[in-house]
Amino acid sequence: MRVKICGITQPQQSLAIASLGATALGFICVPTSPRYVTIEQIQAALVPLPKNIDTIGVFANSSTTQISDTVIASNLTGVQLHGDESPEFCYQLRQSLPDVEIIKALRVRSLEHLQTTANYIDYVDTFLLDAYHPQQLGGTGQTLDWQMLQAFSPSRPWFLAGGLTPDNIIYALNQLHPHGIDLSSGVELSPGDKDLDKVALLFARLNSVLM
């Protein structure tokens, strides 16, 4: 199972988190976010990483040019679209970045909203389901209605996000079977400053049930 730790801001934490077991690291490229990082910060965080770690830039309502420029300059392996991007936008981005993973995040409000994933199937590689918040795009610490997701079975892999912590991850995975999980605020001391003890506890608990 893929494990993505998102909102990395400190280069020295990127290698530590990867060493603990993360398969993907997320970097917030949204200037209004408290976890925002520049291209230079992303580059510094990527230098010590092994090549098998996925590095994902998180964008919200950016242009295809902005996204492509950041991805190419930072040498990211993936893009997470966390705004109101349409299927057509995802198609255009695919033309610009044919070899980069495209993850479409949905801040799920209802079962009907969840069904809109079908519109993106042909244009993205992966989905990420996050909790809806009217003012914040992510990192809210709020959980989804996991019961609503029990019948969710798209023809693309998907990440579960939204309020996951070392304390509730096993309960969540007993109910759902995502292809990956995504944590940010659940393993932080403050926005962008990861708590490495919590990250270690997360992997200890995951290993106890996944081994």
Catalytic, 6? Answer yes
Catalytic, 90? Answer no
Which is the catalytic residue, given 6, 54, 90, 182? 6
Spatial contact of 194 and 12, defined as CB atoms under 8 Å apart: no
Q: Which amino acid makes up residue 122? A: D
* Start-end of H helices in 50-195: 64-74, 87-96, 111-114, 169-175
> Cα 56–27–170 angle (5° rounding)?
75
Residue listed under structure tokens 């996050």: 130
- What lies within 8 Å, CB to CB, of 43 at 6+ separation is 73, 74, 75
Which is the catalytic residue, given 29, 54, 90, 130? 130
Structure tokens at 89: 């936008």
Structure tokens at 181: 């999980």
Structure tokens at 95: 């033309």
Alpha-carbon separation of residue 206 from 20, 111, 140, 184 (angstroms): 11, 28, 22, 16
User: Which active-site residues does the annotation give?
Assistant: 6, 130
